[in-house]
């Protein structure tokens, strides 16, 4: 019995990602002695907030309907519009209203993606790459977006912290922002919905086999549309979290993150063809790439070599994920014989 359980765990991509994370942590700590310091661990958690919210967007699209590459620009445009509107009207009320405004704009842009994909049956990757360019043109062409200070309520929320630490050895201090709770709540909600509701089952059914899902009574076109609407809203929340933690709006900081986030999700075992993947793997893959980008500097590895290291990890992790998927297919074939 124990042997079967071990084979089941060892055959999953999440296990290998966890092993790589553990090994990398030991190596960095042994070389620098700074990785496990309290301030570095808090900095790592802080760095995870926005990428993990983006990773949730990528995860939902991969397990259901195909890649979504537009979430960084949706985040950039929705957070810009929210910041500009609240500044212009002088809004100083609860910051949740600002988040709701951003979610409205993000969901609207996601609806554009969903409508085009459902209406014309275009591949999601092509449409979301195209709308990314459109949203970028609107942001920088129509609005001429630039660096912008935040309204007082958003700035105050950005300054609010769950707790602060100061390492006794290094004397360095770090803060964990309140936005961390938003990320945690989103993942709890996603875990509950995907695992314990019919809506969650429909997401995996659509990605596994659309024809079978249709025969089972799922409205695949409607599901696909609403996935992109939800993705737009999630991206907007991620953009707001980044803007608030930065204490100012920085339009050029959003683009270019999609490939690393998508790679992290695939690295965590989410199958590119849909229907298979876990939120645990999504978190572990994002954690691994965040560790690489944030912590290799502790052992003196230059930024260019860090990029090469990230590329190597992505190739290895994707290969492991692909081999794991093949083993699952072979195992299921053997069981059916």
Looking at the domain assignment, is residue 6 inside a domain?
no
Q: Could you tell me the pTM of the whole model? A: 0.91
- Is 323 a member of any domain? yes
- Domain annotation covers residue 184: yes
Q: Is residue 2 part of a domain?
A: no
pLDDT at 271: 77
Which pLDDT tens digit goes with each residue over 236-295? Answer: 999 999 999 999 999 988 887 888 888 888 888 887 767 778 899 999 999 988 888 887
Cβ partners under 8 Å of residue 123, min gap 6: 66, 117
State the pLDDT at residue 66.
83
How high is the pLDDT of residue 32? 82
> Around Cβ 135, how many Cβ atoms within 10 Å?
24
Characterize the bridge pairing of strands 161-166 and 148-149.
Answer: unpaired
Q: What is the pLDDT of residue 335?
A: 63
Is 4 part of a structural domain of the chain?
no
Q: What is the pLDDT of residue 56?
A: 95
Positions in the chain whose pLDDT score sits under 50: 4
Residue 329 lies in a domain: yes
Q: Is residue 1 part of a domain?
A: no
CATH code assigned at 143: 1.10.3470
Tell me what pLDDT residue 6 has.
54
Of 49, 47, 22, 25, residue with least CA distance to 35:
25
- CA–CA distance, 50 with 164 (Å, rounded to integer): 19
Does 154 fall in a domain? Answer: yes
Residue 167: per-residue pLDDT: 78
- Tally the domains of the chain: 1
Structural domain of residue 41, as residue ranges? 11-336
Distance separating alpha carbons of residues 20 and 160, to the nearest angstrom: 34
Q: Does residue 299 contact residue 31 with C-beta atoms inside 8 Å?
A: yes
pLDDT at site 321: 62
């Amino acid at each position: 019995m124990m042997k079967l359980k071990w084979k089941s765990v060892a055959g999953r991509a999440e296990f290998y990602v966890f092993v790589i994370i553990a090994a990398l942590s030991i190596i960095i700590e042994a070389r620098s002695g700074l990785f496990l310091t309290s301030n570095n661990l808090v900095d790592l958690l802080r760095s995870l907030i926005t990428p993990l919210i983006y990773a949730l967007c990528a995860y939902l699209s991969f397990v259901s309907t195909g890649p979504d590459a537009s979430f960084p620009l949706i985040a950039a445009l929705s957070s810009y519009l929210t910041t500009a509107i609240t500044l212009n009207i002088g809004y100083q009320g609860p910051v949740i209203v600002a988040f709701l405004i951003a979610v409205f704009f993000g969901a609207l842009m996601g609806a554009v993606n969903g409508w085009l994909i459902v209406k014309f049956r275009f591949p999601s990757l092509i449409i979301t790459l195209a709308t990314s360019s459109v949203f970028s043109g609107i942001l920088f062409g129509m609005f001429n977006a630039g660096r912008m200070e935040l309204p007082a309520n958003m700035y105050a929320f950005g300054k609010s912290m769950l707790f602060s630490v100061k390492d006794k050895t290094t004397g360095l201090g770090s803060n964990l922002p309140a936005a961390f709770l938003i990320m945690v709540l989103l993942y709890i909600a996603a875990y509950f919905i995907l695992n314990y509701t019919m809506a969650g089952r429909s997401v995996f059914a659509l990605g596994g086999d659309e024809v079978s899902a249709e025969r089972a009574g799922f409205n695949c076109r409607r599901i696909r549309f609403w996935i992109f609407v939800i993705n737009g809203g999630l991206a907007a929340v991620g953009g707001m979290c980044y803007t608030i933690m930065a204490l100012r709006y920085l339009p050029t900081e959003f683009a270019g993150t999609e490939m690393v986030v998508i790679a992290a999700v695939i690295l965590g075992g989410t199958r590119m063809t849909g229907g298979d993947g876990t939120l645990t793997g999504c978190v572990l893959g994002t954690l691994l790439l965040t560790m690489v980008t944030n912590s290799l500097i502790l052992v003196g590895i230059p930024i260019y070599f860090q990029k090469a290291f990230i590329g190597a990890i992505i190739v290895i992790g994707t290969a492991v994920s692909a081999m794991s998927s093949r083993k699952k297919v072979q195992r299921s074939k053997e069981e059916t014989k």
